[in-house]
Structure 1
Amino acid sequence: MREAVKLDQLALDFEKREGDGIRPAQIRLAILDQLHHWDDVNDQLAELIKMGAPLSFDLFTGPDMKNTTRKLLTFGVLNLILPEKNYYASENKKGQQLLATWHQWQSTS
């Protein structure tokens, strides 16, 4: 309960919020701006998870069904760009156009 009160007080401290401006967000964005390859993501993975950055996979914790005194860390599968594999088929011209649009969107965001 004390932590919830601290969070509320922090959220209501408009003077500090105005003083900080967008600086806290810029620090986090700087980390994302430096990611150019999967090796960069691997190097920064712990920080990306801590800051809640959107990743192409999910991490889950849960009980180990064989030994319930332990917990397991499970990696979720990579998300697909489009919901059905036929979109990606080479003979599907619209699928290729959608992939090109997605790639362009990812490159500029």
Structure 2
Amino acid sequence: MRTTLGLPANVEGVLAYLFGPLGGIVLLLIERNHFVRFHAMQSTVTFISLWILAGISRFVPFVGWILTGLVNIVAVAFWIGGIYKAYCREYYKFPFFGDLAESLLRLF
């Protein structure tokens, strides 16, 4: 698959996850390859959403630290899973976030 940066598409997909939402945003701005753009959008949407959710859960009395820990565990699992699936050249969609990323890609 051809990419704007000249790297293999799976490597660029990995970069979208490796650097969190920042890597996703940069790749969304410069890349035209659909595979890379999908993983970049999914990374951006997933990790910004989880970051916001973790921030909000800190203010929940009594169980906030448990919720924050769970959100962080989910974030690490998505991060590792996203890196692996992109490297394997799979269009794997995360639950909820994958569909949201796909619909947002249609707007851009």
TM-score when normalising by structure 1:
0.35
Higher helix share: 2
Q: Which has the higher contact order (CA 8 A, sep 6+)?
A: 2
The answer to which structure has the higher strand fraction is: 1
Larger radius of gyration: 1
